[in-house]
Amino acid sequence: MISKAKVKHLKALQVKKYRKEQQCFVIEGAKSVVELLQSEFEVAWVAGTASFITLNERLLQQKSPEWVVATEPELIAAGSFQTNDGAIAIARMKENNAPPAHQHNLILALDDIRDPGNLGTIIRTADWYGIQHIVASAETADVYNAKVLSATMGSFSRVNVFYTNLIEFISHYQGPVFGAFMDGEDVHEVKFPKGGLLVIGNEANGISSAVEKLITQKITIPRIGGAESLNAAIATGILLDVITQSKK
């Protein structure tokens, strides 16, 4: 059973202010909680259905969080979603660490991605293509937002998102900086090095003028039909696929 005090705590952690104060966040859903238990995150507390606890007893013993058995209605009432198929957990945030200084793999940079669903999908897509590090502007959606975490489908546990002043980071970055624009060079014709930085802009306004000045090569996805633009997460997926294929 989940206590009233714990429900109050879980509800408070839905607010960014309290997440930052307590340096904790909430994960909902059986799959995401299992991913959490298998990750390097410190897990403080878990509530799960009897079947979830039984199936994941070994993971719970390894992580040693406080845990309780709860019904699905209790899990739903304690969380922020309308459904919950088995578990909810509280974990401690990781330190906001920058990517390694001598990073030879592609890094994603996000210039004010505001939509939680887009950010979560970008993280999931990055994980699919083996991207381990994302650098995000301070205005980018909070990676620990429940909608972001849900959209990552567990990829939050494998992709590090570092929040910083993006202009300062790019200014000091030693390597090629690619930016997604409507008027760039056809991405299929670009020769990509092993590393580099790929900047994805805001959903409505694209890459900001201040960041644009730091881009060393503009790239674009050629338009065939009549759509005005592509969703930021979809564009990220296409670009990562082309870049990955070009290196084979």
As a whole number, mean pLDDT of residues 121-139 equals 97
116 and 234 part of one domain: yes
Q: Position of tokens 């409507």?
A: 182
Judge if 86 and 19 occupy the same domain: yes
For residue 38, CA distances in Å to 42, 48, 76, 156 come to 10, 16, 23, 12
Q: How many domains does the chain have?
A: 2
Same domain for 44 and 79, yes or no, is yes
Quick check: is 100 in a domain?
no
**Domain check: are 156 and 230 in the same one?**
yes
- 98 belongs to a structural domain: no
> Can you list the alpha helix ranges (DSSP code H) found in the chain?
4-12, 16-22, 30-37, 50-55, 57-63, 72-78, 116-128, 146-152, 166-172, 209-212, 232-246
Portion of the chain with pLDDT greater than 90, in percent: 94
Q: Which of 63, 92, 121 is the last residue of a domain?
A: 92
102: confidence class by pLDDT, cuts 50, 70, 90: low
- Considering only residues 35 and 100, tell me which one the structure prediction assigns the higher pLDDT: 35
Please report where in the chains the tokens 């909810």 appear, as a residue.
Answer: 88
Mean pLDDT confidence for 39-55:
97
Q: Which two tokens stand for residue 200?
A: 């994805």
Domain that holds residue 88: 4-92
Mean pLDDT score, 13-38: 96
Domain match, 159 and 210 both: yes
Average pLDDT score over residue span 70-86: 94
Tell whether 47 and 118 lie within a shared domain.
no
Give the CATH number of the domain where residue 63 resides.
Answer: 3.30.1330.30
From 26, 57, 92, give the residue that closes a domain: 92
Is 16 inside any structural domain?
A: yes
Mean pLDDT of 52-78: 96
User: Is residue 196 domain-shared with residue 119, that is, in the same domain?
Assistant: yes
For 140-197, write each residue's pLDDT tens digit. 999 999 999 999 999 999 999 999 999 999 999 999 999 999 999 999 999 999 889 9
Is there a domain that residue 165 lies in? yes
Same domain, yes or no, for 71 and 110? Answer: no
DSSP assignment of 31-54, as one string? Answer: HHHHHHHTSSSPEEEEEE-HHHHH
**In 3-state terms, what secondary structure has residue 172?**
helix
Is residue 101 in some structural domain?
Answer: no
Residue 99 domain-assigned? no
| pLDDT for the residue numbered 168 | 97
pTM: 0.94
At which of 92, 116, 149 does a domain end? 92
Residue 76: pLDDT over 70:
yes
| Per-residue model confidence (pLDDT) at position 226 | 92
